[in-house]
A and B are shown apart, each in its own frame.
Chain A
């Protein structure tokens, strides 16, 4: 009953968000939001490269991302070892090896910005996005870069910023810079047909 689970949940959320975040900012920002919001579902491949200062080489993993409007998000890592991360109806389920862990987001108020950012972005809700992040938008709808910096001090302690690159409603890369300098880059592949 006294499980040190809270800090684990924060980490999970951080990673989930950064993996699947598709959020945008100013005049062209509204147009982009509208474009993103039209999207009802998605199924893409991804490659993620983690660069950690203490390791000789970066860690590479790959798998698939699923999205179903308005609140189902799934990151399925296939290599090098299977892992499944599902966000649905405010519940986060993580499966690795034979163990499954379930966390209810309502229990972790500090994590709300991440979750709200996903929901808000996918719903085209700019106000909600701005409640949790400082947003820099560069470029135009054709080629855009979105830089999100967490407003919450607890979140900012581990994540410095999240940078998304994309063309129109297609996200190309998501880069997460951690406060200690380690970083990861998720490159999104083309849409996988049904």
Chain B
């Protein structure tokens, strides 16, 4: 299988060009899609839609701190005024008196189509008598001063009824006439973006627009007030932008750092610039192939994948290290015969290991698998078929035989200490037993690139605004907006009794602000004509301390409502109900969805309460489902976790089968696998021992320890099984250098601020080193025989 040198180069150049074009045209993203399932179940589909398009994905909270309440209020007002004219924002609210009054006017003006109490019975003589009587009771109550000015127009108390239905929502605290945090130190603004949660560019633009508006508003203040005012943004879109910036920055930083350290290492080892440059060719070729493969396979390349790609630098460089160190400058034919078969088997085991990640639902893992397979294959092929032809005749790297001899001598004491390895499983078992309740992390949040501190700030701001993170949500699919509203209305009718009996604390529904047309028409039809109403009213006030003449404005108002017809979405414009309605009736994959966020009485639903809630929901709408956002997210993570365990085991098994097929010797296979298994155990115990709960990426890291570490073990196997093939001292040196390169790359990753990258790095970096160490300790005695040492 010799390929003419020139052919190899030509093929390489063609592929490099092709991969370069694909990589240049690929779509790159750093949103949360890496965490989302590729083939979601029905419930996951709803969850994914919520995470991408739901109201929470569009909400930004802006907090202004510093200065006086008055300056904060003035900046808050200017900010809201500026952002309301910005098309990127569906709404901007700060609770100023004007908008509160506007909302109230809207509810009052449209009370006869909005009020659920409006029925034909309500407007009979008896119904009117009762309703007016109840309003008189309310007049004598603490709410009297509130309803007194409205009594003549609304003697049946529709506005109070509507406000009651709007529920026990706790209004934010106000300071200087605008919403403020509970402690009064920050002015708060609620912004709703028009763009979906998946549109990262729009989110970034919106965040920038808020900052610009803030600086512009602050600039109008006197210099003394200006500097003390600060702006903090929170919410899902802000986190998404921050995560993208973080991931992008980390990828650059980590690749740079890792490339720098490995360059230093290779310079130190080779003492040859040409060898260094040539050694980087497989790395770059591999990275390019990896990106191109992911772009072809997935359509978009995730930033996290590029982050994982940092590790490729550490692995792909190994092959050229084996070439330069073990091959020597001139003996390519020998190298091909003695060294390449082992590298080939090493690459194959790595590919088999990474291939286990391909079927993963967790897109980030699947991309990592494909990236690594393509990258490692390309790097190995380049090393084998392209690089040898490029090595100039006079290439001389430092003579690594002396350090190799030293390494060989060091093997003996290491081997004698091999009994210590018995402690590895023992200690691991103890550690696992001590931490038996806390071995695995069960929350997706463990992988989130959003720092805990920011998540807590967000929770606090939301609590201050009376808009806690929604956990339970009823989702009802529908064909169009009005059907969705109708579904919301039917669900609302069934949910209201559950508030009264304490099953739930409350719920929100778009049909409260915009009832479905049919419901509105039914309410309008229940309103008597002015003459008829006037006659009924005269009888209804009998026995009440009210003159029928006082209620003339009521008759006029009912007449206007009858003439006014059905309320449409357009008429909500300008009130805060417009964006709420839009957030609760959303376009979905199948048409529209009505969303009804449900608040539990004490944060969580008991099993019995959840059962009652589900029963009510299915009685109202056969297609509606109750979504537990937190629960579903955790279930999603658990399914990833289970899958990661299964796939890692499958990958391990596949590697065992591969080794059995190739080596055809159970003892050799055991000798190859034993140090790897011990390294995995040691790393798991180490991580658990220092208090980390194992995440998916830790588990995947363990698979990689086996996939990467097998290369070292295989060389030891070759050296002891076939000592006349190649030089043992040089093999040892190349293994140590290759190992150091891998440990450096994963070690850099371990220092990442992106938890997924850090988890992977912190598992593989120590694991790869231990794999080499344990392989050396367990190497066969023949390796250290005088005959081998003399070779």
Contact = CB atoms under 8 A, between A and B. Distances in A.
Interface of A: 1-8, 11-16, 48, 50, 52, 54-61, 77, 80-81, 83, 85, 94, 96, 98-104, 106-109, 158, 178, 182
A160 B138 CA distance: 21
B10 interface: no
B141 A2 contact: no
B660 interface: no
Given A1-B467, A2-B93, A11-B146, 4 more contacts: A8-B143, A56-B545, A100-B168, A106-B173
B103 A2 contact: yes
A56 B547 contact: yes
B170 A107 contact: yes
A128 to B, nearest CB: 20
A94 B160 CA distance: 14
A178 B142 CA distance: 13
B168 A101 contact: yes
Contacts of B100: 2, 4, 6
A107 B173 contact: yes
11 contacts: A1-B466, A2-B580, A4-B103, A4-B104, A12-B143, A56-B545, A56-B547, A80-B137, A81-B134, A107-B173, A107-B182
B171 A54 contact: no
A26 to B, nearest CB: 31
Interface residues of B, number: 45
B145 A1 contact: no
Interface in B129-180: 134, 136-146, 148, 151-152, 163-164, 166-175
A89 B75 CA distance: 34
A50 B142 contact: no
Nearest to B500: A98
B168 A15 contact: no
A112 to B, nearest CB: 12
A96 B144 CA distance: 13
A95 B461 CA distance: 29
A96 B173 contact: no
Contacts of A98: 500
Contacts of A85: 142
Nearest to B465: A1
B434 interface: no
A59 B171 contact: no
B5 interface: no
Nearest to A182: B148
Count chain A CB atoms within 10 A of each CB in B138, B141, B169 and give the residue with the most: B141
Contacts of A103: 170
Contact of A12 (B103, B142, B174): B142
A3 B141 contact: no
A106 B576 CA distance: 25
Contacts of B171: 2-6, 107
**B contact face: mostly helix, strand, loop, or mixed:** mixed
B439 interface: no
A1 B190 contact: yes
B148 A52 contact: yes
B469 to A, nearest CB: 12
B140 A3 contact: no
B103 A55 contact: no
Contact of A54 (B104, B145, B169, B550): B550
B252 interface: no
B277 interface: no
B546 interface: yes
Contact of B141 (A4, A96, A102, A106): A96
A7 B144 CA distance: 12
Nearest to B551: A54
B141 A14 contact: no
Contact of B142 (A5, A11, A58): A11
Contacts of B500: 98
B95 interface: yes
A2 B572 CA distance: 15
A178 B545 contact: no
Contacts of B190: 1
Contacts of B152: 54
Count chain A CB atoms within 10 A of each CB in B95, B100, B547 and give the residue with the most: B100
A59 B140 contact: yes
Count chain B CB atoms within 10 A of each CB in A58, A59, A77 and give the residue with the most: A59
Count chain A CB atoms within 10 A of each CB in B93, B103, B173, B190 and give the residue with the most: B173
Contacts of A58: 545
Contact of B140 (A12, A50, A101): A50
Contacts of B167: 3
B101 to A, nearest CB: 9
Nearest to A19: B142
B309 to A, nearest CB: 43
A158 B137 contact: no
Nearest to A96: B141
Contact of A83 (B141, B145, B465): B141
B250 to A, nearest CB: 35
4 smallest CB-CB distances across A and B, nearest first, come from A15-B142, A57-B545, A1-B467, A59-B140
Contact of B169 (A3, A61, A77): A3
Contacts of A182: 148
Nearest to B499: A99
Nearest to A104: B170
A94 B143 CA distance: 10
Count chain A CB atoms within 10 A of each CB in B93, B95, B143, B175 and give the residue with the most: B143
A81 B142 contact: no
A15 B143 CA distance: 8
A94 B142 contact: yes
Given A54-B152, A99-B164, A5 B169 contact: yes
Interface string B548-588: 00100000000000000000000000001000100000000
A12 B160 CA distance: 14
Given A59-B139, A59-B140, A6 B576 contact: no
Contacts of B93: 2
B546 A15 contact: no
B576 A48 contact: no
Nearest to B173: A107
Contacts of A178: 145
B142 A16 contact: yes
A158 B139 contact: no
B142 A54 contact: no
Count chain A CB atoms within 10 A of each CB in B137, B142, B175, B580 and give the residue with the most: B142
A169 to B, nearest CB: 26
A158 B142 CA distance: 13
A7 to B, nearest CB: 6
Contact of A4 (B163, B182, B465, B467): B163
Contacts of A104: 170
A104 to B, nearest CB: 7
A158 B545 contact: no
A17 to B, nearest CB: 10
A92 to B, nearest CB: 9
Contacts of B134: 81
Interface in B241-299: none
A16 B145 CA distance: 12
Nearest to A158: B145
A15 B169 contact: no
Count chain B CB atoms within 10 A of each CB in A1, A54, A60, A109 and give the residue with the most: A1
A6 B103 CA distance: 13
Nearest to A4: B104
B143 A11 contact: yes
Contacts of B182: 106-107
Nearest to A178: B145
B545 A48 contact: no
Interface string B518-541: 000000000000000000000000
Contacts of B146: 7-8, 11
Given A1-B190, A2-B93, A57-B545, A14 B142 contact: yes
Contacts of A4: 100, 103-104, 107, 163, 171
Nearest to B550: A54
B46 to A, nearest CB: 22
B139 A77 contact: no
